[in-house]
Structure 1
Amino acid sequence: MWWFLFPHCMYHLIRWFPKNNRLKIRILILLLSVGFLLPQFYVLLVEQSSRYCGQHLFGLLIASIVVTFVMLGFTFLFVLMDPIPFEVKFAFNCYGGLTCILGVLFIILSSLATECQNNTPILYYYSLATAVLSGISIGIYALLLPFWILNRLYRNSVLDKKGRTGICYEPVNCCSCIWHV
C-alpha cells in the first residue's frame, strides 16, 4: 500500500511551497518517483528471479511494476494540478483499495515464501521489503480511517479548517499533511 501513501504524501508536500516557487521540488519529486522503478526492473532482469519459487512472488513483482507506473501517474497529477478534480480523487481512492489488496498479498505470500530465500534471494528480499512497507502504510491508514469516517458521518466534527474547530484541529493545524487528499 506504499504505492498509495507516496502520492498522498507528495500531494501534501508540494502544497507546503508557494505556488510560484514549486519548480525545483516538482523536479525532485518526479525524479524520486521514477527512481522507484529502478530496483524493480533490476529484480525483474536478474536471471535468478525467474527460477521456480513455491509462492507467486514473480507475478507479484510484475503487478508491483504495473502499480508503480500508476503511482507515477497519480504523483505527476498531484504535483502538477491544483486543485484536484473530484474524478481524480475518486480514481485515486479506488486505486488505494487495489494497492491495499496488493499489499496484503505481498505480506501473506512473503511470509509463506521462506523456501524462496534460497532459490530466488533477490526476489524474496524485494518482496519482503515491499511487504514491510505495505504493512507500515496499512498501519498508518488504519490509524487515520476512524477519523475520516467520523468526519464523513458528522460533518466537520473532526476537522473544520474554516471554522477552526474539531477534535483534530490543533494537531493538524500546522501539519495538515496527516489529514487527507
Structure 2
Amino acid sequence: MWWYTFAHVVYHLIRWFPKNNRLKIRIVIVLFSFGLLFPQLFVLSREHSTRYCGQHLFDFLIVSIVFTFFMIGFSFIFSLMDPVPWEVKLAFHIFGVIAFVMGLTLTVFASLAVDCRNNTLELYYLSVSAAVLTVTSFAFLMVMIPFWLLNYFFPNSVLNRKERTGVCYEPTACCSCLWHI
C-alpha cells in the first residue's frame, strides 16, 4: 500500500513546482525512489534471507521489489505528464487496489512471523517496516477518502480557490504548505 501512497504523494508534490522548473525535483524523486529500492535489494542479496521462514517473507520481498519498480514507473510518469491521461490514472488505481491487498497480506504475515526473527533478521525487520508503512498509508488514505468522495459528488465543495470557498479553503489560505485533493 505504501507504493501507491508514495506515487500519489509524488503526483501532488510535482505540481507544486512550475512546469518549466521541475528538473531538480524530478531528479530528487528518482534518486529517493531508487533509495527505497536499495534496502530491499540488500536484504535480497543476503545469503541467510533464503532460510526457512514459516510466513514466506522472502516471497513477499520479491513481490515488494516488483511493486517498487511499478511505483518508480508511476512516479516518473506522474512527474513527466501534465495532465495525466485517464488510462494512466485507471491503471494507477488498479495498481493501488492490488497494492492494498498485497500490503494487507504482508502486514498479516509480518505480524505472525515473530519466529523468523531468529534466523532471518534483516528480512523480518524489512517486512515489519513495510507493514508499518502500509498501516500508515492506509490510515492516511482513510482520512482522505471522504474528501475525495465529497469533491467527486459535489465539485469544488472541498476547495475552490477561484471563488475562495470550500471546506479546506481556510486551512490552505492560512498555511499554503497544506496540499489538497
TM-score norm. by structure 2 comes to 0.92
Classify the secondary structure of the residue corresponding to 2:130: helix
Answer with 28-37 or 137-146: which moved more: 28-37
From 161, 174, 179, the equivalent of 1:177 is 179
1:98 is aligned to 98
Provide the C-alpha distance between the structure 2 equivalents of 1:136 and 1:55, rounded to a whole number of angstroms. 22
**What aligned pairs does 1:1-181 form with structure 2 within 5 A after superposition?**
1-173=1-173, 174-175=176-177, 177-179=179-181
Structure 1 vs Structure 2: percent identity of aligned residues?
55
Q: CA deviation at 1:93?
A: 1.2
Give the partner amino acid of 1:143.
Answer: V
Does the 8 Å CA contact 1:9/1:177 hold for their aligned counterparts? no
Decide which moves more: 63-72 or 25-34: 25-34
Aligned-partner Cα distance in 1 for 2:76–2:143: 27
* Worse overlay, 118-127 or 20-29: 20-29
Q: Give 1:139 shift.
A: 0.4
Q: TM-score, normalised by structure 1?
A: 0.92
Residue-by-residue CA offset, 1:89-141 (whole Å, 9 max, x unaligned): 11111111111111111211111000000011110000000000111010000
How many residues end up aligned between the 2 structures?
179
CA displacement at 1:172 relative to structure 2: 3.9
Please give the alpha-carbon distance, in whole angstroms, between the structure 1 residues aligned to 2:60 and 2:72: 18
Question: Tell me, which stretches of 5 or more residues in structure 1 are unaligned?
Answer: none
> Matches of 1:158 and 1:25 in 2, distance apart?
28
Q: Which moved more, 1:46-55 or 1:142-151?
A: 142-151
- Structure 1 CA distance, aligned partners of 2:18 and 2:80? 13
More divergent stretch after superposition (75-84 vs 151-160) = 151-160
Cα distance in 2 between the residues matched to 1:149 and 1:36: 31
